[in-house]
A and B are shown apart, each in its own frame.
Chain A
């Protein structure tokens, strides 16, 4: 048996893979399109109104949305703040605070790793997960319908922009992954975040 024969024998013994046909090509195209985005958000940011969240990362990204607690950032120094002017010329600010859960030191390696991850996030390139975006759209539609039914104004509702909300929701997941990637326990970390917009409309 020579090298070429060995190579061929080994190749032939490889586990089979699914057929690479048109169906597979279409499925792969869908996955790539969903996970690899050419488009970036640029400066299109339409956060309207107010939203905030507070969660322990051990619970991962689902436990978001505690609207109305934006006062948290008064008296605290956020670990990361991003400011921009949205399409309606409002000045907007998104801020995030990393901290330990009760009983954990502020210098715990997981907390430090979370801060480091948060610091390193490029907000302009945060990917939007289609599943989150879809959920955001559904939430927005439901909330808008409910508000309209009650005759409430909908102009300042934060969930008017599912795209922005999906990005906002992605931040805890990125921090969670960053802590996990360092082999540390994200459940020792809490992450609070909020955004608010004000000024001329």
Chain B
């Protein structure tokens, strides 16, 4: 097929190419940047699309200390502490995580950084895996700190390094903002070597590090002076550049939108803003003066557009570009047609596609959470839910979750409903990682202020939804060391809850009995549903189940639990043996004993 010499030539060519560049996701590239820039401390809390940053930093654990913190606020503070010793430090989170970390952010901006401090925040326009699509750039303006927006993986690495340098030069925290399409797109990156940055150690300086009012007031002034001092730098930075082309149309573009603009408007001049705040006013004025018509293309809010207009410069923007959802080259093609007074025919999915069965994400086969939802289906209850795999319990056929707000709210909102006098039984539901993240304080409130919901903590020993990260209950750290396993029972009792049970929900009848008894008690109850995530911990896999067609009466009770391994085709219920993990829930609920383990060969 191919001769050996040709193959050898190819291999050597390939090896040389491989030395030069690697195809990395934005998240992998940022992890690489963390290593190369001599970062000492890298911490965060998992959240799509940010999670793989720290997972990849773990590869460099000989040089970079890394950890999953219990939540983003803690992580932010850990990185802040590290920075004050002079160490370069970063913290990672998804956009909503910055809400949790907003408290330390809004004062670290006064205290400032010593070693470079970058908060890497991943936004999710279009809400692929999120409950909202807030625009993190607003936080940069709110906190009066720089925000950097890469447009591909190489820039993600480069901007991280530039952010650490900026942070040290201006003694400011910096935000590196990615979006889903930057985090999860893979593009070529040229690797570099690590450059060490040895911390000097913490140097006592109370007027600098202690924002009691007398010292916070001068700090407040310094925040404004810092913004002014950055003005020339932001205009001269290579992160912001003008690419002159035709003078008819000029486009200001940020983040991944730059790539779409280059593809859909190849003839336009482009002002690419990689460092959008503080705004590069002079650069914007220079660019606007050089083109006849100005358009701002940015995802989500009119962050740049509003400022351009405040400079007295006329521009198009959100009158054409939606502020909801993510952009795409297809969307820009349509917008371009509309700006030119044309209408592009819609390339809709084929007609037959509308008749396709939806394929939404579902709880995995043999997921222990399924038993909890199936059991709750037997009671008239309100379930205040939370963020995690178990959010999927809201969907048909389980339909057993009624609210979601944010991490930890599953517990606190249950308390709120009880004190408001809700007549139905109220169940609050959170996962193990979510409980450690921000459920503990809600439970303390229940113990302290004496309401009586039933709180179910779905303890599968891992942060499953984001891809099985360790948490304080796992007994393992991100760096692979064994550690103490936090006891949810002990936390619950310490919060003043006397009725605390840890049970396996797959002992289904007993679980239903416990629920019933708990609903009849005037005291708060914590039920820890303890069963490992089957995808993560295969030790729980059991013998595959099968349906006996002679005993099955096609009552379809088993189909109500929404297990992907149970298929109903051609009038028969079957169990897909490749999917079934043998949890036995279907066997336990079958009224006709038609389901049993397959006989061993």
Do A and B bind? no
Listed in ascending order, the chain A residues whose CB lies under 8 Å from chain B are: none
Give residues in B with beta carbon < 8 Å to A. none
